[in-house]
Structure 1
Amino acid sequence: IPGAINLPVLDNDERARVGTIYVQDNPFEARKIGAALVARNAARHIEDHLMDHPKGWKPLVYCWRGGQRSGSFTTILKQVGWRAKVVEGGYRSYRRLVKQAVYDTPFTAPVTLLDGNTGSAKTEILALLQARGVQVIDLEGLANHRGSLFGAMAGGQPSQKAFEGALAQVVIGIDPSKPVVVEAESSKVGERIVPPMLWAAMKNAPRLEVQAPLAARAKYLVTAYRDMIEDTARLSETLDRLRPYHPADRIEDWHALAASGDMEQLASELMALHYDARYGKARNRTDDITPLPVAGLGPEDLEDVADRIAGLLG
């Protein structure tokens, strides 16, 4: 569940021990041992993790089924004075709701794809649109990945289930009568798979294409991908992953640019010789494209294009 912290009142070994005693020996003995373990672990969690919470704190507690583990911890938290509640049915119940939201329910809100070649500041534009009251789904933000070979971000990607849980929270809040803007992506963001109900709505959606000069995009990328640039080993490894697609001498030229620190030139060549053509192929599969030319990608340029998009969406 997004935002949850893991404070088990029984760890895996303790749960197995209590369960074995319950089944093979004596349920009463199992409950006594379980109660002692739960009390001990709960006390440690309160001392180590929860002491700073005020009286008005309202924790929501869950375990797998919403049974004795979460129930006992919730009782202790209530006795402290916190307004604790249990997730009814536990994580299994929550997961059913997630699946219903992102797999079983058709996505009926009208989707508009925010398109544009690599380095067009689409993620920043999404944030500006959201600030203007436009509904957006930031798949790259939810997946913690920038959607390319160079797109890995600190902290790694969430699990598929965690990605779906975060997406479900967004989807449930969408007003189906109003447009929603989604960045044009493939059916995968890094290693995370976009659920079919949303992907089906995205595939044939109209596109707004941000068209920025190559030089402006290169300059933007050097800032946006600073983490990659500063990790020379990771940059070198990622460049090597492009070998199946380009001649060996070109890859060596790119390594040389990276070694010399000429990152804007490297970004320009990667876009011109690799990414732009691939974006173009995907874009050629649809006719419903509205171009949004921009002179640059500075703050004023991005504010302007966000205003234009908000105006187009009404």
Structure 2
Amino acid sequence: MTHRQPVRVSDLHTFDTIIDARSPSEFALDHIPGAINCPVLDDDERRIVGTLFKQTGAFEARRVGGAMVAANLAVHIRERFADRPANWRPAVYCWRGGMRSSSMVTWLRLVGWDAQQLAGGYKSFRHHVVAQINMLCPRLKLQVLCGATGSAKTRVLQELAARGEQVLDLEDFACHKGSLLGSLPGVAQPSQKRFETLVVSVLDNIDIGRTLYVEGESARIGRLAVPLPLVEHMRAAPCIEIAATPQARLAYLLQDYAYLGQDAAGLADKLGFLKQQQGTATVLRWQQWAQEGNLPSLFAELMTLHYDPHYQQSQSRHFSSWSQRRQIAADDLSAKGIAAVADAIQGTP
């Protein structure tokens, strides 16, 4: 077993396991990719210790908290780590590399495992995420996929990824389709920090010299902000436009957004946000169609009156190379048609 020494973020890949010793709610907010959560204090215990610290001082908080930490560590060693071999090497972190991770490392090392502590804890990892975004985004060899709503851009990205191309699927990480109706049923968006961690998990592992395909997103996807250095580089990158026919787009939208018909009231409520842009009479008609489950009429007018005019204006305004974009025609967005679009993209110089 080596001497106890602080570990840097860049060294984490050399360990067998990365252990997040923070509470479950902290872990859910964001964590190092691949880490497992083994709290030394759960959320209620952490709240109790924090209250004691404020009301009675550090000694009482440490006395009560220490007993809780010991009990939780005993459970982890007896149950969670029971099958770990003698040569197991875990790296442990908490919020700042303080007492929670230090306590766990001490006990694991007493058992005989070569446990080490991440210097600076999660905060040092967060600094790594921000630094990588700032450093790597301007160097990316991007190809930006554009296309009006319903052009199956995300499915094309998935097809390219399946073929071994490098892809950054921002909507997948954001758990949102990036439009007014883009929230996913029963799926909450991650925290901003988690979103950025997922982006960096891709950037840290790509070949910077190869093309990275990304969808031409706005600066926000739902309530999440796309990192500004990435937005700026996307705006200057070459664009490929999927020029799908209205008929193909409508067919795709009816399939891709079919779940909206299962919550007519919720769909009508979302459409209400468009009254200022589209006028009360138009939105009331759309809301009536939503209540009736008439998605074909609803999506056809949404395309014509809302999505398409906004798309034409925003693309030329946001993408500096828009006038030099390459267009790929598509009159079919079935699996076969998406494969044909991917074929054409891969043939792009």
Give the TM bin, normalised by the shorter chain: 0.7 to 0.9
* 2:150 matches 1:119: yes
CA contact (8 A) 1:18 1:34 kept: no
Q: What residue in structure 1 maps to residue 323 of structure 2?
A: 287
Distance in 1, matches of 2:138 and 2:192, equals 19
Secondary structure, in 3 states, of the residue corresponding to 2:289?
helix
| Structure 1 position 186, deviation (Å) | 1.1
Distance 1:152 1:30, change over 3 A: closer
Distance 1:16 1:259, change over 3 A: closer
Q: What residue in structure 1 maps to residue 4 of structure 2?
A: none
* 2:170 matches 1:139: yes
Secondary structure, in 3 states, of the residue corresponding to 1:287?
helix
Q: What residue in structure 1 maps to residue 50 of structure 2?
A: 16
2:102 aligned to 61, 71, 76, which one? Answer: 71
Deviations 1:81-125 (A, max 9, x none): 988654332111101101101135552122111011101111111
Secondary structure, in 3 states, of the residue corresponding to 1:182?
strand
Secondary structure, in 3 states, of the residue corresponding to 1:242?
helix
* 2:309 matches 1:277: yes
Q: What residue in structure 2 maps to residue 264 of structure 1?
A: 296
Q: What residue in structure 2 maps to residue 179 of structure 1?
A: 211
Secondary structure, in 3 states, of the residue corresponding to 1:173?
coil
CA contact (8 A) 1:215 1:268 kept: no
TM-score, normalization: structure 2?
Answer: 0.78
Distance 1:77 1:233, change over 3 A: farther
Distance in 2, matches of 1:38 and 1:59, equals 18
Unpaired runs of at least 5, structure 2: 1-30
Unpaired runs of at least 5, structure 1: none
CA contact (8 A) 1:111 1:179 kept: yes
Secondary structure, in 3 states, of the residue corresponding to 1:107?
helix
Distance in 2, matches of 1:77 and 1:308, equals 55
Distance in 2, matches of 1:197 and 1:248, equals 38
| Structure 1 position 168, deviation (Å) | 1.3
* 2:73 matches 1:37: no
- The letter for the 2-side match of 1:275 is Y
Deviations 1:28-85 (A, max 9, x none): x76554332102233456789x48x854787653211123312323455677898865
Deviates more, 1:7-16 or 1:137-146: 7-16
Aligned length: 308
Give the root-mean-square deviation of aligned CA atoms.
2.9
CA contact (8 A) 1:9 1:41 kept: yes
Q: What residue in structure 2 maps to residue 303 of structure 1?
A: 339
- The letter for the 1-side match of 2:326 is T
Secondary structure, in 3 states, of the residue corresponding to 1:302?
helix
Secondary structure, in 3 states, of the residue corresponding to 2:327?
strand
Q: What residue in structure 2 maps to residue 218 of structure 1?
A: 250
CA contact (8 A) 2:136 2:203 kept: no
CA contact (8 A) 1:55 1:81 kept: no
Q: What residue in structure 2 maps to residue 206 of structure 1?
A: 238
Distance in 1, matches of 2:289 and 2:124, equals 53
Distance 1:106 1:221, change over 3 A: closer
Deviates more, 1:69-78 or 1:89-98: 69-78
| Structure 1 position 17, deviation (Å) | 5.6
Distance in 2, matches of 1:33 and 1:139, equals 44
| Structure 1 position 256, deviation (Å) | 2.2
Distance 1:265 1:77, change over 3 A: farther
Q: What residue in structure 2 maps to residue 231 of structure 1?
A: 263
Distance 1:6 1:25, change over 3 A: closer
Distance in 1, matches of 2:216 and 2:89, equals 38
Deviations 1:204-224 (A, max 9, x none): 211111111222212211221
Q: What residue in structure 2 maps to residue 97 of structure 1?
A: 128
1:110 aligned to 118, 141, 144, which one? Answer: 141
| Structure 1 position 203, deviation (Å) | 0.8
> Sequence identity, in percent?
39
